[in-house]
């Protein structure tokens, strides 16, 4: 490459040549703008005598609260409790949703019988199951996990069924021809073929579950991020409240990013598909 | 890779798709000695694919039997492998993974799979693409992968259902020569189903014509030509014309004649 070509290419490719880097730079800029607005809002709250008592909502007090909460072990405990409920609820949704989704995609009559029933159940707001869950489950913990599971199962189920619909039946013929057992058909053909859709469904489910989790924890339980927020509100430690809200955002973002990585890892469709 | 062929004996093979629908073919008898490349030629819809699916063990015949070296075929097996009209590769796998997929089904050791896959990929000359995703390959290259995926099983019998009809003339011609050369070198049997008479003359040791409704074998012709076979060779053209005549005759084929032939 000549020096000249290198020069012109270098300047442009610093941003366009590395799409991941460009995206990262934009992300940092976006977060920076958000933080600045937050900071200015905090300054405004503090400078106004009528709102000065809410100054703890600002960026600086919030950032100061994080090491405090970490030192007290509160942030870890709350995240662990919420994470446990979220994880178990999602796991139940996957264990139930994926097999039913596979049957829906493979067995035509089952799809026809079940579709409207499932679509109907799906449209029921997950939180509206709350009173019922409390009656059925002995513990608050159990009810919350149930709510997470019932909120997450639909996206997982429907995404799995949609993935199956895209499977080329010839793949089964080829696999059978080469001596695949039904179990190998599942592990070597069906699962890799639908992994992308399943993870996309789990990503949607995670979003819903994360939204359901926090309000569910406002009630009954004495652990978790939702409870900690409610607790901070009652004890008027507003900077703890915002620190917890920030934590919820960060954890949700990280979990979502992990799923995006998995989705990309298992995406095999090319082009416009 | 050393593969042995097999003696194929098809007896009284009859098939109907539904118990009340008509028979697709009726009492087909066909034999093919070890190492032979046999072509079955026939018009669209006469039951060639159905016959091949039955031989592959992917479909159960209504009546009759197929035996390889005296052992009946009762399901799919690595010993008789079918190559389809389209490659039907697994798009989430590399070339190597696609070629080795049948061996992973058979729970072969990693080392065995690796060495056999490498050899099969070399046979179809795709070494440079071993790690490519199959979606990045041309149609002809994909069909080569499908061929390697079949060859890696070291089958005694390779079943080909119009395997190259979706390819352009150049690719088709070179694959026809390659498959025949590989089969002759390794010694396995081929049953090739086609409606392309050229393909039969280039690839087969013997051609049979299937016709009628229900279908049956109405004519056969030895393709006794030296290799490699060239389309322009007068001997090839002569045989081609002969086969074309029989094919046309078969097109006008009707039941009384079948009785005459049977009797
Ligand atoms: N799955 C099926 N169910 C019912 N009938 C079928 C099925 N598959 C094929 N047939 C019928 O059986 C007959 C033979 O079909 P087959 O596919 O074996 O023909 P073919 O000789 O391979 O034709 P082509 O050259 O077009 O591939 C046709 O009349 C077809 O309609
Ligand atoms: Mg056919």
pLDDT at A9: 46
Q: Identify the domain boundary among A56, A86, A103.
A: A56
CATH number at residue A251: 1.10.3720.10
- The position carrying tokens 């005759």 is B249
ipTM above 0.90, yes or no: no
Indicate the pTM of the whole model.
0.80
**Which residues sit opposite B71 in a β-bridge?**
B68
| Token pair belonging to B170 | 């150049």
Residue A29 lies in a domain: yes
Nearest-neighbour CA in chain A from B12: distance (Å): 24
Which ranges of A107-168 would DSSP assign to H, the alpha helix?
108-122, 130-136, 140-165
**pLDDT exceeds 90 at position A236:** no
Cα pseudo-dihedral A209, A213, A214, A215, rounded to 10 = 100
Q: What is the CA radius of gyration of chain A?
A: 24
Kindly list the residues from chain B whose CB atom is less than 8 angstroms away from the CB atom of residue A262: none
Q: Between chain A and chain B, how many beta carbons pairs sit less than 8 Å apart?
A: 56
Q: What is the pLDDT along chain B (263 residues), one digit of tens a residue?
A: 556 788 899 998 899 888 777 788 888 899 999 999 999 998 888 888 899 999 999 999 888 999 998 889 888 888 899 999 889 999 999 999 999 999 999 989 999 999 999 999 988 889 999 999 999 998 889 999 999 999 999 899 999 999 888 778 888 888 899 899 989 988 999 999 998 888 999 999 999 998 877 788 888 888 888 888 888 888 888 888 888 888 888 776 544 444 455 44
| Token pair belonging to A28 | 């940092």
CB contact at 8 A, B234 and B47 = no
CB pair distance less than 8 Å for B106 and A179: yes
CB pair distance less than 8 Å for A170 and B90: no
Residue A182 lies in a domain: yes
Select the CATH number that applies to the domain covering B8-79+158-262 from these four: 3.40.50.300, 3.30.420.40, 3.40.109.10, 3.40.50.720. 3.40.50.300
Q: Whose CA is nearest to atom 3 of ligand 1?
A: B17
CB pair distance less than 8 Å for B91 and A170: no
Given pLDDT bands bounded at 50, 70 and 90, which one contains residue A181?
A: very high
Kindly list the residues from chain A whose CB atom is less than 8 angstroms away from the CB atom of residue B102: 178-179
**Which residues sit opposite B217 in a β-bridge?**
B210
Identify the residue with better confidence: A20 or A192: A192
Average pLDDT score over residue span A104-129: 88
Average pLDDT score over residue span A243-269: 91
**Which residues sit opposite B216 in a β-bridge?**
B211
**pLDDT exceeds 90 at position A257:** yes
Residue A204 lies in a domain: yes
The Cα A253–Cα A44 span in angstroms is 28
Buried b (16+ CB within 10 A) or exposed e, B138-153: eebbbbbbbbbbbbbb
Average pLDDT score over residue span A27-39: 89
CB pair distance less than 8 Å for B106 and A175: no
Count of Cβ atoms closer than 10 Å to residue A266 Cβ: 18
Domain range summary for chain B, segments of one domain joined by +? 8-79+158-262, 89-154
Query: CB-based contact (8 Å) between B101 and chain A?
Result: yes
Average pLDDT score over residue span A148-173: 93
**pLDDT exceeds 60 at position A211:** yes
Mean pLDDT of chain B: 87
Is A216 found in the same domain as A105?
yes
Residue A271 lies in a domain: no
Query: CB-based contact (8 Å) between A181 and chain B?
Result: yes
Is A20 found in the same domain as A30?
yes
Average pLDDT score over residue span A134-150: 91
The Cα B38–Cα B206 span in angstroms is 5
DSSP state letters, chain A: --HHHHHHHHHHHTTTT-HHHHHHHHHHHHHHHHHHHHHHHHHHHHHSTTTGGGGGGSHHHHHHHHHHHHHTTHHHHHHHHHHHHHHHHHHHHHHHHHHHHHHHHH-HHHHHHHHHHHHHHHTS-GGGGHHHHHHH-SSHHHHHHHHHHHHHHHHHHHHHHHHHHT--HHHHHHHHHTT--HHHIIIIIIHHHHHHHHHHHHHHHHHHHHHHHHHHHTSS-S-SHHHHHHHHHHTT-HHHHHHHHHHHHHHHHHHHHHHHHHHHHT----TT-
**pLDDT exceeds 80 at position A153:** yes
Domain that holds residue A13: 1-56
DSSP state of A54: G
pLDDT at B211: 82
The minimum-distance atom of ligand 1 relative to the CA of B50 is 18
| Token pair belonging to B214 | 């229900």
Query: CB-based contact (8 Å) between B244 and chain A?
Result: no
Kindly list the residues from chain A whose CB atom is less than 8 angstroms away from the CB atom of residue B149: 178
DSSP state of B94: B
Count of Cβ atoms closer than 10 Å to residue A132 Cβ: 13
Is A10 found in the same domain as A77?
no
Kindly list the residues from chain A whose CB atom is less than 8 angstroms away from the CB atom of residue B58: 173, 176-177
Q: B41: CA distance to ligand 2 center in Å?
A: 11
Task: Give the angle subtended at the CA of A60 by the CAs of A58 and A63, to the nearest 5°.
Answer: 105
Structural domains of chain A, count:
2
Identify the residue with better confidence: A153 or B256: A153
Given pLDDT bands bounded at 50, 70 and 90, which one contains residue A14?
A: low
| Token pair belonging to B72 | 């009946």
Candidates B93, B102, B149; nearest CB to A179: B102
Among B14, B45, B163, name the best residue to mutate to test ligand 1's pocket (greatest count of ligand atoms within 8 A of Cβ): B45
């Amino acid at each position: 490459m000549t020096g000249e070509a290198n020069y012109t290419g270098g300047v442009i490719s610093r941003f366009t040549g590395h799409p991941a880097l460009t995206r990262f730079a934009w992300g940092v800029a976006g977060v920076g703008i958000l933080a600045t607005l937050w900071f200015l809002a905090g300054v405004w709250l503090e400078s106004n005598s009528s709102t000065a008592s809410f100054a703890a909502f600002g960026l600086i007090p919030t950032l100061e609260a994080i090491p405090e909460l970490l030192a007290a072990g509160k942030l870890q405990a709350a995240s662990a409790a919420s994470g446990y409920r979220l994880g178990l609820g999602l796991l139940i949704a996957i264990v139930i949703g994926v097999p039913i989704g596979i049957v829906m995609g493979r067995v035509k009559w089952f799809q026809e019988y079940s579709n409207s029933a499932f679509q109907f159940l799906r449209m029921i707001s997950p939180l509206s199951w709350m009173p019922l869950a409390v009656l059925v489950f002995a513990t608050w913990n159990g009810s919350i996990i149930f709510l997470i599971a019932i909120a997450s199962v639909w996206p997982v189920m429907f995404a799995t069924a949609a993935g199956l619909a895209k499977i080329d039946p010839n793949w089964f013929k080829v696999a059978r021809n080469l001596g695949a057992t039904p179990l190998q058909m599942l592990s070597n053909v069906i699962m890799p073929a639908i992994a992308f859709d399943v993870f996309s469904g789990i990503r949607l489910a995670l979003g819903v579950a994360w939204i359901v989790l926090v309000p569910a924890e406002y009630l009954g339980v004495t652990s978790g991020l939702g409870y900690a927020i409610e607790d901070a509100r009652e004890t008027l430690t507003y900077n703890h409240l915002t620190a917890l809200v920030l934590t919820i955002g960060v954890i949700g973002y990280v979990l979502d990013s992990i799923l995006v990585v998995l989705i990309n890892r298992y995406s095999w469709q090319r082009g416009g598909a | 890779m050393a593969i042995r062929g097999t003696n194929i004996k098809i007896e009284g093979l009859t098939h109907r798709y539904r118990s009340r629908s008509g028979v697709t073919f009726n009492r087909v008898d066909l034999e093919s000695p070890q190492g032979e490349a046999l072509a079955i030629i026939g018009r669209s819809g006469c039951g060639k694919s159905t016959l091949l699916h039955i031989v592959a063990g992917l479909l159960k015949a209504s009546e009759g039997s197929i035996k390889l070296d005296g052992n009946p075929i009762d399901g799919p097996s690595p010993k008789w492998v079918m190559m389809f009209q389209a490659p039907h590769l697994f798009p989430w796998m590399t070339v190597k993974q696609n070629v080795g997929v049948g061996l992973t089904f058979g729970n072969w050791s990693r080392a065995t799979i690796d060495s056999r896959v490498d050899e099969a990929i070399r046979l179809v000359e795709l070494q440079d693409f071993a790690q490519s995703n199959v979606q990045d390959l041309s149609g002809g290259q994909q069909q080569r992968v499908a061929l390697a995926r079949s060859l890696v099983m070291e089958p005694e019998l390779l079943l080909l259902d119009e395997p190259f009809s979706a390819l352009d003339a150049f690719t088709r011609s070179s694959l026809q020569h390659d498959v025949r050369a590989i089969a002759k070198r390794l010694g396995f049997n081929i049953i090739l189903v086609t409606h392309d008479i050229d393909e039969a003359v280039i690839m087969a040791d013997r051609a049979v014509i299937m016709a009628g409704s229900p279908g049956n074998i109405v004519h056969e012709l030895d393709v006794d030509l030296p290799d490699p076979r060239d389309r322009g060779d007068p001997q090839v053209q002569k045989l081609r014309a002969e086969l074309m005549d029989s094919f046309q005759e078969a097109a006008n084929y009707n039941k009384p004649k079948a009785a005459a032939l049977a009797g």
